[in-house]
Amino acid sequence: MRSNYILFFLIFLLSGCISYRDIVNFTEDSQKTDSAKNAIAGTLSLKLQPDDIIQIFVSSYNKEESNKFNLLINQSSAGQNMNMGSGIIDPFGYRINQKGDIEMPLLGEVSIAGLTLEEARNLIAEKIKETNYLKDFNVHLRFLSFRVTVLGEVNSPGTYTIPSQKLTILEALGLARDVSLFSKRNNILIIREQNGKRSFGHVDLNSKDIFSNPWYYLQPNDVVYVQPHRSKILAAPDPASRYVSTAVALVSLVLLFLRF
């Protein structure tokens, strides 16, 4: 009889422990696929949207003429935003306004919201050709406002801005110095707001299928939330957990008293 009580008590304690499998990523059949080569899924083509900031630079052999299309900001005003018609100019870049437009020198308003960087580049190049100012030139576009927020059970939560147009869930967690030992790795939540709608996605770090998950590649302004493991909740120093611990201790004492 006593052994049954002890067994029950041990099962109760172990139910809140973290297993080795819980803290290792890509554990699902990972040993069986060491030699396998999987095709990398096509990266997500980001669509430009209002409040995004992009850098546009036009280059040619005739620098004087090409500079007429470039945004030049004095060092004294580099830390300030400037209003220019319907477009908003940020330091070294253009912020897309709520109508989806930017305003470029000589070209005026250019509607680029909903386009990829490549599509926006081609559109601007066509408009420059129509001006007949330049014959041979190149248009360079770069994303300046890729920002994500990582919260929850990570070692360094916060908001991170990267000078890139591609970011994976693993890279975002790397920016936050990885998830903690008390994280729930099989249910990473991603919150995305786009076109006036909010959507939710989930990523399982324990699964080898993470690389084909449609939420593997993040989008600007995504929020990544790492849930805490149940074992941390049980160990949290709050009144409820203390009551549970006290109750378990009392039950154990009562059982021992009855046994003897």
Show the domain range for 109. 53-143
pLDDT of residue 85: 37
- Residue 185 is predicted with a pLDDT of 86
State whether 10 and 27 are in the same domain.
no
Is the pLDDT higher at 200 or at 52? 200
One domain for residues 139 and 114: yes
Of 29 and 192, the structure prediction assigns the larger pLDDT to 192
Nearest Cα residue to 146 out of 217, 75, 210, 97: 217
Look at the block and give the residue holding tokens 């890279």. 171
Q: Residue 125: what are its φ and ψ, rounded to 5°?
A: -65, -40
Do 58 and 11 lie in a common domain?
no
Q: Do 36 and 77 fall into the same domain?
A: no
Share of the chain above pLDDT 90, in %: 26
The predicted model scores a pTM of 0.60
Quote the CA–CA distance of 161 and 90 in Å, as a whole number: 15
Question: pLDDT tens digits, residue range 67-109?
Answer: 888 876 433 334 444 343 334 444 568 889 989 999 988 888 9
**Do 186 and 72 share a structural domain?**
no
* Same domain assignment for residues 71 and 123: yes
| Higher pLDDT among residues 223 and 37, named by residue | 223
Residue 169 confidence (pLDDT) above 90: yes
208 and 150 in a single domain? The answer is: yes
CB-CB neighbours of 173 under 10 Å: 22
Domain end: 125, 143, 161, which one?
Answer: 143
Bridging pattern class, strands 87-90 and 82-84 = antiparallel
Helices (H), 139-229: 169-175
Strands (E), the chain: 53-59, 82-84, 87-90, 93-95, 101-104, 108-111, 138-143, 146-152, 158-162, 188-194, 197-203, 223-226
Number of domains in the chain: 3
Read off the CATH number of the domain in which 128 is found: 3.30.1950.10
58 with 134, same domain: the answer is yes
Q: Are residues 24 and 59 in the same domain?
A: no
HSE, CB side, 13 Å, CA atoms: give it for residue 4: 3
Give residues with Cβ within 8 angstroms of 119, minimum separation 6: none
Give 194's DSSP letter.
E
Compute the distance between CA of residue 158 and CA of residue 173 in angstroms, rounded to an integer. 11
End-to-end CA distance of the chain: 11
How many CB atoms neighbour CB 107 within 10 A?
A: 17
